[in-house]
Structure 1
Amino acid sequence: MTHFNPRFAPQSAKRGFTLVELLVVIAIIGVLVGLLLPAVQAAREAARRMSCSNNFKQIGLALHNYHAAFNMLPQQMSGPHRAGVWLHSQDPAGGEWNSGNPAYNAMGTNSFLVGILPFLEQQGLWEQIANPRDNDGDGNIDVPAFGYAGDSDAGNNYDPWLTEVPGFRCPSDPGAGAPAHGRTNYGASMGDGFDYMTQGTYEWDLSARKGWPAERSPAATRGFFIGRTTTRFRDVLDGLSNTFAAGELATDLMDLDNRTNAANYTECETDVNFQEAYVDPTRPQFYLDTTDLSGNTATSWTLRYGRGFRWHSGYPAQSMVSTVNPPNSPICVFQTGDWFPERDGGNVSPSSRHQGGVHMLMGDGAVKFITESIEAGNQEAPPVIWNGSGINRPGAQSPYGLWGALGTRAAKETIEEEF
């Protein structure tokens, strides 16, 4: 009988990996993961960006369906105001109910997004907003039609305003939760001027009859939307395919990001670069800690003014974009008198969490990705105003180049280049 000594086993016997071999394999796997991870992240962002664009297209379709139904566009800054005073009662989406108390209605602050809810499969939410309610069954109206002003105490507790509407959000934007109400990543395009951009032609002081809104607003409010004023497709003389209807905006993360947290200075109304003096030179995407900001202080009142914090509010930081400074520029709001930030207007460029640009909705419903490097003309030029002269006179072509021209609806500008 033949016996084998185990110390002299055949060479074919199996053996394990050595430590060196194992480390080499792990290193190779690590390198492959490192190479593939950016590609995976880029693919995910491409998918998010596509979803963001698709949401915008649905908003564009809703605007067209609204116009087909009512022969007008939904108003930016709409709804009842004060006791018995209506801004535009001819607006079918504006309602016909008067609360009789200025503390208990929308105060003419609702955004155009409120009006298009029924055209975005949000009929249930629209019904909650459009109908007055008697909550306790005593026969008296407790909740007014078209809600409360979003910056009022009642508005802070109004359930429809706190509702996050998926179609108003861009998946690339991480903003969520308090102190915001329901957020939006899309805002109305107001053009290349600021003067009376929130008020429009509405006359506040009927006794004084100063006539300022009727003179000043038409001169400076040159965008697709006009505050508290009805607009129609026929008003867009430069062509729907050559005019921005709305723009993308990143929502505020309470981190001093100068694209989403507005500086608050009255000088911004006439100096389109005034806010640049407050940009942190070591972190160009952020403001200095000493900047007077509209939405990042310790009080509950000013916490409401972060960019995109309230989809229902028509005020500049919430749901407006302007075409003066190019996309992703620092933003600034202003007000006259001792009231709240952004009451009178703001230089509020579109912004996004995408790399290098923003989505813009054209009047014809197309969505374009506009880069930060778009030709933006003379960035030292003052904005167009009712008593301006030269480059900022009423009716002048936009001093802000292709970017400004795409924001104006009827400045007789011919768009010949690709964008």
Structure 2
Amino acid sequence: MIREKKRSHAFTLVELLVVIAIIGVLIGLLLPAVQAAREAARRMSCSNNMKQFGLAMHNYHSAYQQLPRQCGGSDSASATTSNIQRLSVHVGLLPFFEQQAVWEKISNPYDDGTNTFQAMGPAPWVTLYEPWRTQIPGLLCPSDVAPLGAGGTGNTNYGYSVGDSTWNSNNAVDAAGAPLNTGQHRGFFQHRTTTKFRDILDGLSNTIAMGEIGRSRGARELIGDAFYVTGNAAAQEVVRNSPKQEGWLEVIEPARPQFYDPGVLLCVDSSGAKDRSRGNVWGDGLGLFTQVCTVFPPNAPSFQREGGVATGKGGIFTMGSRHQGGCHVVMGDGSVRFVTDSIESGDLSIGFVGTTAPGAPPAGSASPYGLWGALGTRGGKEPRSIDEL
């Protein structure tokens, strides 16, 4: 009796190639889904960070019946003995978003064994002072991949809204230290001025208090860098007079509209310092570092007037993020909303309200920058609502 041998079955080369191809297709389909899920998680984490700031602002106001100042603190001629009124709102809010330990170091005299600093510290760029070097995780957006530590100071991805007219809203003060050009101080926060909830005449739920800031990767991106124009005050006013043309269309690289043209001078270029980009000093209240405004929509260019970050005489400080298509904002009532790049922003060829720009609306006018500008003003009396988003 002849027994028939059983032959073991094996994959042919064709079958193996088919299986490999199927696996490759599945991986190709799976990876984008995984990446999208990870970004959704990062975006949710960023939103939660901003909710904490909204809650912190309300708790601060409940405790002190006012909001912390943007560019507040003590005053002195020396940056090593005083913070020269340059502290950001972040500093005042520290104990209200679970950073009591950092606040205790700042609010008391601090001795690191080599240097002694008075309460509230030196100027925010003095890196000998440990608190200014401290990187607080909650001040960073998980989606922002820019490197940390440029200039030796702690970074942030979150800034405070100063409205739609920020041309002279920084260090322009009179002999008594009071801000000049008050008609241009139209935002939820005002430079070196105390703001209260009662001042938000357009309603807390319809006024932006905070927004995201993109940080620089050194790639000349609109998101993380700011440009300036050399020359006298008249040269700077070209951008103020025609924001869209001179502050946007003239500075971008036509083939890559999310990048500055190679011929455009950035703030970091002016001194070679590594801390001259958006969000690079969380303790500093000047526009480049912790301010946002509602002139250009999210992820458009930013402009630092006169190039000198130390002088800080206003500019255009645009919100931005590395989330796809827009950025988060915190409204005055503490709610967090996502605003897209395509938000209606009116006529960007018109100069800032309250300035001497040709054709600029007088102080107290409704914002010319559409829904976006209206959401940035605290008392413009524009009939616009966040529900229009």
Give the TM-score of the pair, scaled to structure 2.
0.91
Q: Paired residue for 2:232? A: none
Q: Paired residue for 1:112? A: 89
How does 1:89-238 map onto structure 2 within 5 Å? Answer: 101-136=78-113, 142-151=116-125, 155-180=126-151, 181-199=153-171, 202-203=173-174, 205-206=175-176, 213-214=179-180, 216=181, 218-238=182-202
Deviations 1:385-411 (A, max 9, x none): 255686520000000011100000011
Asked if the contact 2:158–2:212 (Cα under 8 Å) also holds between the matched residues in 1, the reply is: yes
Task: State the alpha-carbon separation in 2 of the partners of residues 333 and 340 from structure 1.
Answer: 7
Asked if the contact 1:254–1:306 (Cα under 8 Å) also holds between the matched residues in 2, the reply is: no
Task: State the alpha-carbon separation in 2 of the partners of residues 406 and 167 from structure 1.
Answer: 25
Distance 1:22 1:400, change over 3 A: same
Query: Does residue 322 of the first structure (1) align with residue 286 of the second (2)?
Result: no
Asked if the contact 1:388–1:394 (Cα under 8 Å) also holds between the matched residues in 2, the reply is: no
In the alignment, structure 2 segments of 5+ residues that lack a partner are 230-235
Task: State the alpha-carbon separation in 2 of the partners of residues 77 and 290 from structure 1.
Answer: 32
Distance 1:26 1:34, change over 3 A: same
The counterpart of 2:256, out of the listed 261, 283, 295, is: 283
Asked if the contact 1:296–1:306 (Cα under 8 Å) also holds between the matched residues in 2, the reply is: no
Distance 1:145 1:279, change over 3 A: same
Distance 1:59 1:375, change over 3 A: same
Q: State the identity as a percent.
A: 45
Q: Paired residue for 1:72? A: 66
Asked if the contact 1:249–1:352 (Cα under 8 Å) also holds between the matched residues in 2, the reply is: yes
The counterpart of 1:414, out of the listed 379, 383, 386, is: 383
Query: Does residue 376 of the first structure (1) align with residue 345 of the second (2)?
Result: yes
Asked if the contact 2:222–2:260 (Cα under 8 Å) also holds between the matched residues in 1, the reply is: yes
Deviations 1:194-243 (A, max 9, x none): 2321137x43x35xx9x8x44x1x20010000011100000000000010
SS of the residue 1:167 aligns to: helix
Task: State the alpha-carbon separation in 2 of the partners of residues 354 and 188 from structure 1.
Answer: 19
Shift of 1:38: 1.1
Shift of 1:158: 2.1
AA of the residue aligned to 1:373: S
Asked if the contact 1:317–1:342 (Cα under 8 Å) also holds between the matched residues in 2, the reply is: no
Asked if the contact 1:334–1:341 (Cα under 8 Å) also holds between the matched residues in 2, the reply is: no
Shift of 1:259: 2.3
AA of the residue aligned to 2:292: V
Q: Paired residue for 1:261? A: 225
Query: Does residue 293 of the first structure (1) align with residue 293 of the second (2)?
Result: no
Asked if the contact 1:75–1:111 (Cα under 8 Å) also holds between the matched residues in 2, the reply is: yes
Task: State the alpha-carbon separation in 2 of the partners of residues 342 and 380 from structure 1.
Answer: 26
SS of the residue 2:330 aligns to: strand
Task: State the alpha-carbon separation in 2 of the partners of residues 106 and 120 from structure 1.
Answer: 22
Query: Does residue 243 of the first structure (1) align with residue 207 of the second (2)?
Result: yes
Structure showing greater radius of gyration is 1
* Count of aligned pairs: 378
Task: State the alpha-carbon separation in 2 of the partners of residues 297 and 198 from structure 1.
Answer: 19
Distance 1:386 1:296, change over 3 A: closer
Query: Which range is displaced more, 38-47 or 269-278?
Result: 269-278
Deviations 1:353-384 (A, max 9, x none): 01111101000000011111111111101001
Task: State the alpha-carbon separation in 1 of the partners of residues 256 and 311 from structure 2.
Answer: 25
Asked if the contact 1:335–1:341 (Cα under 8 Å) also holds between the matched residues in 2, the reply is: no
Distance 1:136 1:31, change over 3 A: closer
Asked if the contact 2:79–2:122 (Cα under 8 Å) also holds between the matched residues in 1, the reply is: no
Task: State the alpha-carbon separation in 2 of the partners of residues 289 and 102 from structure 1.
Answer: 34
Q: Paired residue for 1:94? A: none
SS of the residue 1:405 aligns to: helix
Asked if the contact 2:109–2:119 (Cα under 8 Å) also holds between the matched residues in 1, the reply is: yes
Query: Does residue 352 of the first structure (1) align with residue 321 of the second (2)?
Result: yes
Give the TM-score of the pair, scaled to structure 1.
0.85
Shift of 1:19: 2.0
SS of the residue 1:81 aligns to: coil
Deviations 1:290-330 (A, max 9, x none): 21110256723xx2111111111111121111101111111
Asked if the contact 1:183–1:308 (Cα under 8 Å) also holds between the matched residues in 2, the reply is: yes
Task: State the alpha-carbon separation in 2 of the partners of residues 296 and 246 from structure 1.
Answer: 28
* RMSD between aligned residues: 2.1
AA of the residue aligned to 1:68: S
Deviations 1:44-78 (A, max 9, x none): 11111111111100000000000000011011111
Shift of 1:162: 1.5
In the alignment, structure 1 segments of 5+ residues that lack a partner are 84-100
SS of the residue 1:188 aligns to: strand
Asked if the contact 2:241–2:350 (Cα under 8 Å) also holds between the matched residues in 1, the reply is: no
Distance 1:298 1:230, change over 3 A: closer
The counterpart of 1:26, out of the listed 9, 20, 25, is: 20
Task: State the alpha-carbon separation in 1 of the partners of residues 74 and 288 from structure 2.
Answer: 21
SS of the residue 2:283 aligns to: coil
